[in-house]
Structures are given as C-alpha cells and as structure tokens.
A = this chain, B = another copy of it.
Amino acid sequence: MKPTELNRLSASQAAVKLQQREISAEQLVRSCLDRIEEREPAVQAWTQVAADSALAQARMLDSGPVRGLLHGLPIGVKDLFDTDGIATSYGSPIYANHVPDSDAAAVALAREAGAIVLGKTVTTEFATFHAGKTHNPHRPGHTPGGSSSGSAAAVADFMVPLAFGTQTAASVIRPAAFCGVVGYKPTYGSIVRAGVKSLSETLDTIGAFGRSVPDVALFVAALTGDKRLADTGNVDGLRIGLCRTHEWPLADPDTQAAFDLARRRLTAAGAVVTEIDLPAHLSTMVQVQTEVMAFDAARSLAHERVRHPAMLSSDLAALLASGMSISVEQHQRNLAGAALGRQLIDSVFDSCDVLFAPSAVGTAPEGILATGNPVFSRMWTLLGVPCVHLPFMTGAHGLPVGMQAVGRIGGDRGLLQAAHWMMEKLSG
C-alpha cells in the first residue's frame, strides 16, 4: 500500500501495522490530512482540523512505547465533546467562541489508549435536529444524517478510520446508514459521558463509527476497558430474529429490499432466521422516546433556553417548548412505560441471539437542511440495548442501505460477534 493510501486502512489493520512499527503514526496522520485537504470542500465534515497538534502527538507516539489499543490511530471527535484547547461549539452559535480547558472523559480515555485527536466533526445543534453544513460523501446535496453528521461522513470518506458519535434518538445508527459505515451504539451507560454536552441523561449514549465491525469493537474495547469486546471471532449456529418493528409501514422499498436480501443471505449462510413480532406495548416506545427526549432536553438545555432564546434555531425552540409542556406526571408514566419495555425486550432474546431491524426509512434523502427520520432508532435508544448498523446494499441514487443488529442489554460482546459474522455473510 502506498503511503498516500494509508487513510484507507481500517482501524484494526492500521492498529496492527502501527504496533509493529510497519507504519508510523505520522504517516497515517499525514495521509488522513491529505484526504481531508482533497475532499473537505465537498464533504464539509469538520468544524476544525487540529493538524499541528495531531502531527505533534503522532511524532511523540512514534518515538515512545506502544500506549494501548488505539496507539497512533487518528480519531474524529464529534463537536459535542469537550476538547482541551480545541474550540467546541456543540453545533450552536451560543458557543461560537468556546474553548474548553479539559477533554471529555471519553476523549481522555481514547488519548490514554494512544489515539490522536485529528479534529472536531460537525454536529447538529446540540445533537438535535437543526443540521450543520455536512454533505453525504456519496452524493453531495444529500444529507449525511445527524446528529453525528461529520463523524459518519469523515469515516465514510476515508478521512479518518474512527470517530465518536452520540445517540439520543438515532444519531449514530442513522448517519451510519446514510453514509454506509458501521455505527455502534453500545449498551446505555457503557462509555462515560462526562464532558459531553448533555441533551437527555435518560437517553444519551456515546457510540462509534468505523468501516468494519472489528474497528468499532476495538474503539469501544479501549474506551470501556473491556478488552473482551475486541474479540469478534466467529460464531456458530446464530439465531437471528428478523424484526420489522411496529414502524415497518414507514419502511420504503429500499429498506424492504434490504430486509429480504438479509433473510436470503443469512439463511443461506446457515443462520437460523425467524421473524420476530414485538410485543404490542413496544408500539408505544417511539412516542415515549420522543416525549422523554423533549422533557429532558428542556431541562438539560435550561441555561440556553432561558439565557439565549434568540440564539436557538426555531426547530430547537419548538422541541424545548414541547418539553416544557410535558408534566412531571406524564414523564413518570413515560419512564414506567420504558421500564416495562426493557423487561419485554429482554424476554424477546430468549428466542434469538440477535435481532436484525431497519436502521432508517430508506437511503439518505435529498437536501442537507434536514437529517432524515429517526423513527427506526427511537425505540432501541429508549430501551438502552446495543445496536450495530451494517451497510450491505445500495439503493436509490446509488446510496447505501443496511440494517441494524440489536442485542440485549449488556450483551455487547455477543452482539459484536454476531454482527461481524453477519457482515461477512451479507457482503458475500
């Protein structure tokens, strides 16, 4: 591989070469920077590229011992995470001049494992629905999805092998789907959130983008300290529950086709594939998630709502107003409904090892002012279950289509193994 193409290495491939000193971190960073220079005018994935500090960090790592699982790997950090000395705006003009004096805990853990912060990636406004400047790298003029827009686009476009995202409604899985990369939302609570701008304590979950299942597994293994996650070795006799979900009527022909293709290929590969109908109560989860998110956001963003109302988008102002209109009693009913949902989904996994469900309505819609419908992820986020988006098809306009593998709470290791196996069979 030519040094100019190092940016195309997957994180797992690069990690091995870096640890064996076959390539240097500086070479890898330079290759990523070259790609950014070439492609950023079209993609607009970054709010800031920290080229100088990334190169300095790379040289330091190259001249010292191997630091950890992420030694020498450049990462993109969603601009919702505080970064020490690097401007962090949370996608809002309120924080246009904000420069934190510390790293978010997850960023510090990534650095501790040897990762290099290449820069900050575009987020929607406070990770809600008002979009940033990013285009879908596969087709300018189409959305990359949100809220982790820049992270998904940068990974898809080979600007960086790994990037941080967060999901409160669909903000990891949907941009992964629209950009055709692997997105992994671990079990709720797996990765520490300190120093990430909070939208909903009930829902916010840090996740990862990569170009393969082992890549996101490696990243999250390093962040959680659970090195077992990095072992995505094969599985036998997988029981896969194809799950249309109660939102199936919203799935467009591309998503329907992905569902059928998945059934055929996974069955042919030897998995036990059945269709799973979810309990009726779970049909309420989309509405419950929508209300919990609004209720929480109105409180988490209280400072911005009260002190800077004129600097909020009308989208966000409406979301916060809807949150303020939800009573505490209603919120408590919603939390009780979510708790029941968590019990019900857990028993669904008695009859299968993994669920496989739509990630999005269809391919990335045209236009970059909206980030697409989050409906197919709201339930899973509310339930706190781990999800991995797998891209395995193309649909309208040649844009990517895929589905998400869903595991039980705490079952991340089994889910990643299943997802790795499924991805290999689906790509065949």
A7 touches B (CB below 8 Å)? no
A193 touches B (CB below 8 Å)? yes
Residues in A51-106 with C-beta less than 8 Å from chain B: 84, 95, 98, 101-106
In the assembled complex, which residues on chain B have CB atoms less than 8 Å from the CB atom of A98? 101
Contacting pair B102 A303 (CB below 8 A): yes
CA distance A280 to B328 in the complex (A): 35
Known contacts A98-B101, A101-B95, A226-B328; A84 and B307 CB within 8 A of each other: yes
CA distance A328 to B230 in the complex (A): 14
Ordered nearest first, which 3 A-B pairs have the shortest CB separation?
A194-B198, A108-B302, A108-B303
A195 touches B (CB below 8 Å)? yes
Q: Interface centre among A84, A106, A306, by most B CB within 10 Å?
A: A306
Contacting pair A112 B302 (CB below 8 A): yes
CA distance A305 to B98 in the complex (A): 23
Contacting pair A194 B101 (CB below 8 A): no
Known contacts A108-B307, A302-B112, A306-B111; A296 and B101 CB within 8 A of each other: no
Q: Interface centre among A193, A194, A304, by most B CB within 10 Å?
A: A194
Q: Interface centre among A102, A104, A197, A201, by most B CB within 10 Å?
A: A102
Known contacts A306-B112, A332-B410; A105 and B189 CB within 8 A of each other: no
CA distance A386 to B307 in the complex (A): 31
CA distance A395 to B336 in the complex (A): 43
Residues in A101-150 with C-beta less than 8 Å from chain B: 101-109, 111-112
A299 touches B (CB below 8 Å)? yes
A233 touches B (CB below 8 Å)? no
A4 touches B (CB below 8 Å)? no
Contacts A95-B101, A224-B328 aside, 8 further interface pairs with beta carbons under 8 A come to: A104-B303, A108-B305, A108-B307, A109-B302, A112-B302, A192-B302, A194-B299, A332-B410
A290 touches B (CB below 8 Å)? no
CA distance A106 to B302 in the complex (A): 8
Q: How many copies does the complex hold?
A: 2
Q: Which of B111, B303, B410 contacts A195 (CB 8 A)?
A: B303
In the assembled complex, which residues on chain B have CB atoms less than 8 Å from the CB atom of A198? 105, 192-195
CA distance A107 to B228 in the complex (A): 41
A300 touches B (CB below 8 Å)? yes
Q: Interface centre among A107, A108, A224, by most B CB within 10 Å?
A: A108
Q: Interface centre among A101, A106, A302, by most B CB within 10 Å?
A: A302
- For the complex formed, measure the closest distance between the CB of A318 and the CB atoms of chain B, giving whole angstroms: 19
24 residue pairs A–B, Cβ–Cβ below 8 Å: A84-B303, A102-B307, A104-B303, A105-B198, A108-B302, A108-B303, A109-B302, A111-B306, A112-B306, A189-B201, A189-B202, A192-B198, A192-B300, A192-B302, A193-B198, A193-B201, A194-B198, A194-B299, A194-B301, A195-B303, A224-B328, A226-B328, A228-B328, A332-B410
